[in-house]
Structure 1
């Protein structure tokens, strides 16, 4: 067994139906973890479960009060423990200029990306604190620390995720629970398709020293590291996977 081996661990991945969430779920499974997977779209979860061979499917929205608590209760009933949480559930902005965006635009993005992350981390953290161990990985974005046009709600929500994660890391470190942030740059996913393939692509690439948009599996190994014993002394950190953008 290596320090990166997740055999015997139970991982819950939100937003696992597609994109980066799916890629992270696949990487954790390849490293040996058993999986519970959440997405708003049950069909996406069923496809992932079929591709993986097995996974515990928990469809629903992390932004709904009580949903995360119900998920953790269900996971514990089935598996007896919860070792890893990855909060990959997220939605894209309306891509309107800030002065033209609506209250509904703001609320929808913040409810899923920030409030949903808090609900999920709080529910998982309660169980992990009882166990005295666990790894929580919140998913932020390069835009938690870099500006761009028409993404005010998205950037604010991801900045909030990073601040929240630092607080949880400090609170829970003495009781055995690690909390870290995974901050991806631009990857080829449905969420970013309108940017990376459209008129904004040239501007995006100009900000990326590696001069390319990444493939989702390139994020998986970073999640495995943060989830594993190899990161045993890593908490309150942000691991940025962005081709050099923030540098």
Structure 2
């Protein structure tokens, strides 16, 4: 017999699940026994994910910056499964690598809308369900650049700093009502989002700043997400777990 996984029977919603870190997290959660509910903008990516994992997967495409769409997704998860036990907010963008004085207002707003406001929309929608049950775990994906400066990523860094502040606020507000809220702060991982930067002249500088001497593989973040969703982390809330190969240990 296969031993039970730490998330057997639990419904976990993953945003940004179609690609990159979100996909790796979703695969790991499914491997731990979770019943997945997955969201991204593109249905085709979610369908490919569903074909690659064992166990049930609810495919629910949406744009996280659209609050009405997010609320509808949360309601549909409950309608289909009867519950919502976990949320991992992986949806995020970093479309610009531009000096701050050249950042356009519309580009700034777009990054904040997706990364920070979108995370809040999902936390709020999932939190309403979890608070009614007095149980649940939310994991928000931040970045080492929430606390460590780097050139040309002003909007991205600001959005991730906001995510960590939001995480601490929700953790304090919801702790005595059974809902835990933590964050993951990844360093550099090779994904579609980071490939252009890592393959540019900046790649050597970035890798040289990592004590382990390499960027991460997406699967190396996923275990931390499984831990934070599971009961193994039941006395953790308001924390940020950094997974960065030692970047912030220097």
The alignment's TM-score, normalised by the length of structure 2, stands at 0.96
Q: CA RMSD in A?
A: 1.3
The runs of 4+ residues in structure 1 deviating greater than 2 Å are 1-4
- CA deviations on 1:39-79 (whole Å, 9 max, x unpaired) are 01111011101112441001110001211110110000000
- Tell me which residue corresponds to 1:186: 188
For residues 35 and 217 of structure 1, what CA distance do their matches in structure 2 show? 17
- 3-state SS, counterpart of residue 246 of structure 1: helix
More deviation, 236-245/199-208: 199-208
- Tell me which residue corresponds to 1:10: 11
Structure 1 runs not aligned, ≥5 long: none
For residues 107 and 232 of structure 1, what CA distance do their matches in structure 2 show? 35
For residues 216 and 108 of structure 1, what CA distance do their matches in structure 2 show? 25
Counterpart pick for 1:239 among 238, 241, 245: 241
In 2, are the aligned partners of 1:23 and 1:220 still within 8 Å (CA)? yes
- Tell me which residue corresponds to 2:134: 132
- Tell me which residue corresponds to 1:198: 200
- CA deviations on 1:169-211 (whole Å, 9 max, x unpaired) are 0000000000000110000101101111211011101221111
For residues 187 and 148 of structure 2, what CA distance do their matches in structure 1 show? 10
For residues 111 and 216 of structure 1, what CA distance do their matches in structure 2 show? 24
In 1, are the aligned partners of 2:62 and 2:70 still within 8 Å (CA)? no
- 3-state SS, counterpart of residue 127 of structure 2: helix
Structure 2 runs not aligned, ≥5 long: none
Counterpart pick for 1:56 among 55, 58, 69: 58
In 2, are the aligned partners of 1:62 and 1:119 still within 8 Å (CA)? yes
For residues 244 and 3 of structure 1, what CA distance do their matches in structure 2 show? 33
In 1, are the aligned partners of 2:4 and 2:33 still within 8 Å (CA)? no
For residues 176 and 67 of structure 2, what CA distance do their matches in structure 1 show? 28
- Tell me which residue corresponds to 2:45: 44
- Tell me which residue corresponds to 2:169: 167
For residues 30 and 3 of structure 1, what CA distance do their matches in structure 2 show? 10
In 2, are the aligned partners of 1:88 and 1:138 still within 8 Å (CA)? yes
For residues 248 and 220 of structure 2, what CA distance do their matches in structure 1 show? 17
- 3-state SS, counterpart of residue 148 of structure 2: coil
Instruction: For residue 156 of structure 1, report the CA deviation from its aligned partner.
Output: 0.0
Name the CA shift for 1:230/1:98 in 2 (closer, same or farther; >3 Å).
same
- 3-state SS, counterpart of residue 191 of structure 1: helix
* Number of residue-to-residue matches in the alignment: 247
- Tell me which residue corresponds to 1:35: 36
- CA deviations on 1:122-174 (whole Å, 9 max, x unpaired) are 00001000011000000000100111111000000000000000000000000
The alignment's TM-score, normalised by the length of structure 1, stands at 0.98
- 3-state SS, counterpart of residue 137 of structure 1: strand
